[in-house]
């Protein structure tokens, strides 16, 4: 695994757990974790359960005892690491969004296609696909329980940078993160809605905004050039990504969709919610009620209609049989364990894991279209792969 911070910790927990929970055709061995700071990565290896710590990811892909490279770094290094790993014959799991630009994502897809022909697999880590309630949502839609999809509403709301004195971390710098709320959390709801509906976004019109345009430089980032001085004399730097993005979209099946991704929704910590309205019913998923799915079945007699709460903890529900008795709820971390479960099973059986790099490129094309639309006063932009 390359990278050991927030996503690295989540992935490590999943790698540690997956073979203890699921009966799989292969076993994951946590050989080595990589980071630039030798002392910090050594501490992370010990804490997260890795056998070894290294500071050069190139050394990892050159080793014969490593089969998989798990990329958990900021977006600016995804393409370089993933392409090199695929060319070296390593299976690759790469965190979302796939890359910082469409061109980088296309290069990653080209490498994945070439490697696939040699039996080398790759996938992008959109973990919310693996929440049992989300998988059930997809299954119900695929069975036709909603009929034709009319409307999609998706929001992802956070508030962790509402304080203007919050420092200029890498997620607020375009050269490292690619974009702000749009790519960081907007990518999740783009992928999630396309996943559950089985449709793609064909066009968008959107707006983006950066509310706080200057922030204090982190203490450890003194090497960054300061663009001004804060009120307390602290050096500040420019925020070069969006704080919020909103857009409307059209789906390939003809339905309409609205999306909102913001890190300025005061009081919202990780508020992801998706509602799908169809001709025969509606489904609602709320991440703050992760084990539940709301279902409105319009085919029932009028006197019996109303939103029903499905507690998605039965053994018949996706992934759940491997865990606890009904009613014993799962959490955020389980989505990553399910991600590793699906990845291991696909690689071990010679199947192509999902979402593929091609799937992730389609999300990247939507992100790019929203950015271009916002820069052109919400002009309509078609989402087309050329």
Q: Which residues have C-beta within 8 Å of that of residue 235, sequence separation ≥ 6? A: 216, 217, 222, 226, 228, 229
The pLDDT score that the predictor gives to residue 221 is 54
Per-residue pLDDT, 234: 76
Compute the distance between CA of residue 54 and CA of residue 79 in angstroms, rounded to an integer: 20
Contact call for residues 195 and 138 (beta carbons, < 8 A): yes
> Which class for 243: exposed (0-12), middle (13-18), buried (19 or more C-beta within 10 A)?
buried
As a whole number of angstroms, the longest Cα–Cα distance in the chain is: 68
Confirm if 138 and 318 have CB atoms less than 8 A apart: no
- Mark 182-194 as b/e (b = at least 16 C-beta within 10 Å): bbbbbbbbbbbbb
| Domain parsing of the chain, residue ranges | 6-128, 131-356+362-375
* Model confidence pLDDT, tens digit, residues 51-70: 999 999 999 999 999 999 99
Q: In what order do the strands lie in the sheet with 214-216?
A: 214-216, 235-238, 228-229
Element of type H or E holding 103: helix 102-116
Nearest partner of 297 among 130, 143, 193, 190, judged by Cα: 143
Q: What phi and psi, each to the nearest 5 degrees, are found at residue 2? A: -105, 120
pLDDT given for residue 219 in this prediction: 82
What per-residue confidence (pLDDT) applies to 312? 98
What is the DSSP secondary structure assignment for residue 59, as one 8-state letter? H
Q: Which CATH superfamily is domain 6-128 in?
A: NAD(P)-binding Rossmann-like Domain (3.40.50.720)
Neighbours of 150 (CB within 10 A): 16
Rounded (10°) angle between helices 357-375 and 102-116:
170
Cβ neighbours of residue 350 under 8 Å, at least 6 residues apart? 119
Write out the H or E segment, with its range, that includes residue 203. Answer: strand 201-209
| 131-356+362-375 has CATH 2.30.33.40 classification | no
Quote the pLDDT of residue 220.
66
83-98 pLDDT, tens per residue?
999 999 999 999 999 9
Per run of 10 residues, the mean pLDDT along the chain (length 386 residues) is 97 98 98 98 98 97 97 97 98 98 98 98 98 98 98 98 97 97 98 98 98 92 44 81 98 98 98 98 98 98 97 98 98 98 98 98 98 96 82
């Amino acid at each position: 695994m390359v990278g050991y911070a927030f996503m690295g910790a989540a992935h490590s927990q999943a790698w540690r757990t997956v073979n203890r929970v699921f009966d799989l055709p292969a076993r994951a061995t946590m050989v080595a974790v990589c980071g630039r700071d030798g002392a910090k990565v050594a501490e992370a290896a010990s804490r997260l359960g890795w056998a070894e710590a290294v500071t050069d990811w190139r050394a990892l892909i050159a080793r014969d005892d490593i089969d998989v490279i798990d990329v958990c770094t900021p977006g600016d290094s995804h393409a370089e690491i993933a392409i090199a790993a695929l060319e070296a014959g390593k299976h690759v799991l790469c965190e979302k969004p796939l890359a910082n630009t469409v061109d980088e994502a296309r290069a990653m897809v080209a490498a994945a296609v070439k490697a696939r022909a040699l039996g080398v697999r790759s996938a992008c880590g959109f973990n919310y696909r693996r929440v049992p309630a989300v998988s059930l949502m997809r299954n119900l839609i695929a069975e036709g329980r909603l009929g034709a999809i009319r409307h999609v509403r998706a929001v992802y709301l956070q508030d962790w940078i509402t304080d203007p004195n919050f420092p200029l971390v890498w997620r607020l710098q375009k050269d490292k993160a690619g974009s702000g709320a749009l790519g960081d959390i907007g990518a999740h709801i783009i992928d999630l809605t396309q996943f559950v509906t089985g449709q793609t976004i064909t066009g968008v019109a959107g707006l983006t905004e950066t509310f706080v345009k200057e922030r204090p430089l982190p203490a450890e980032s003194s090497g960054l050039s300061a663009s001004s001085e804060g009120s307390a004399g602290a050096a500040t730097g420019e925020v070069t990504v969006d704080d919020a993005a909103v857009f409307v979209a059209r789906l390939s099946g003809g339905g309409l969709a609205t999306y909102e991704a913001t890190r300025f929704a005061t009081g919202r910590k990780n508020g992801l919610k998706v509602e799908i309205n169809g001709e025969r019913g509606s489904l609602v998923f709320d991440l703050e009620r992760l084990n539940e799915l709301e279902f409105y079945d319009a085919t029932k007699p009028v006197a019996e209609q109303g939103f029903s709460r499905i507690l998605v903890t039965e053994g018949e529900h996706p992934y759940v049989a491997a865990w606890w008795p009904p009613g014993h709820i799962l959490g955020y971390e389980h989505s990553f364990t399910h991600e590793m479960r699906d990845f291991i099973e696909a690689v071990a059986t010679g199947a192509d894991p999902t979402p593929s790099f091609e799937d992730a490129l389609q999300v990247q094309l939507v992100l790019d279209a929203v950015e271009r639309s916002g820069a052109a006063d919400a002009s309509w932009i078609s989402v087309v792969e050329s």
